[in-house]
A = this chain, B = another copy of it.
């Protein structure tokens, strides 16, 4: 070390690295997410990587955990805001068709998460927990069986619309939601 540039005081650098990791994964995929690229994105030296994490896998686990946390929170928030069953229905439609939850970024990252969870037990647990929370939020408004169904179409429709935008239109989504919640219909 010849010219040690002034060392930065940088608490929660660890968190910044984790967020940077998500940015890198979004663009390059897990396959292209390297120590160096993440370090650059977080604007920290390479050495910080080995200091804060025991290997790349630990970075990925932290990153995907953060993703699940963030996305799941938004999901629950939107559903909890609904006061009547009709509002809950509309919230589901909004989750699928709106630009709050099913963003391009979230979808890209979710796909990486899906794939990664097949090969990593910790991430699989994160994924399962995420789904459980979604399901619980839906169950505040709907029966257990209906919650399963709605969760299913949320997953499926967002994927379709990622590949081909507006294949599953808002109108079709609304119709699906109604069909699957009809028997529970109430005044609201």
Could you tell me which A residues sit within 8 Å of B by CB distance? Answer: 28-31, 107-108, 111-112, 114-119, 124, 127-128, 131, 145, 148-149, 151-157, 159-160, 162-164, 167-168, 172, 175-176, 179-180, 182
Residues of B within 8 A of A128 (CB): 163-164
List the B residue with the shortest CB-CB distance to A25: B115
Residues of B within 8 A of A148 (CB): 160, 167-168, 172
* CB pair A155 B159 closer than 8 Å: yes
* CB pair B167 A160 closer than 8 Å: no
User: Of B29, B127, B160, B163, which one neighbours A152 at CB under 8 angstroms?
Assistant: B160
* CB pair B124 A118 closer than 8 Å: no
A160 CA to B153 CA, complexed, in Å? 11
Copies in the complex: 2
What would 30 A/B residue contacts be, using CB atoms closer than 8 Å? A29-B116, A29-B118, A30-B30, A30-B31, A31-B31, A107-B118, A111-B115, A114-B115, A114-B159, A115-B115, A127-B163, A128-B163, A128-B164, A131-B163, A131-B167, A145-B172, A145-B175, A148-B160, A148-B167, A148-B168, A148-B172, A149-B153, A149-B176, A152-B156, A152-B157, A152-B160, A152-B168, A155-B159, A156-B156, A159-B159
Residues of B within 8 A of A151 (CB): 156, 160
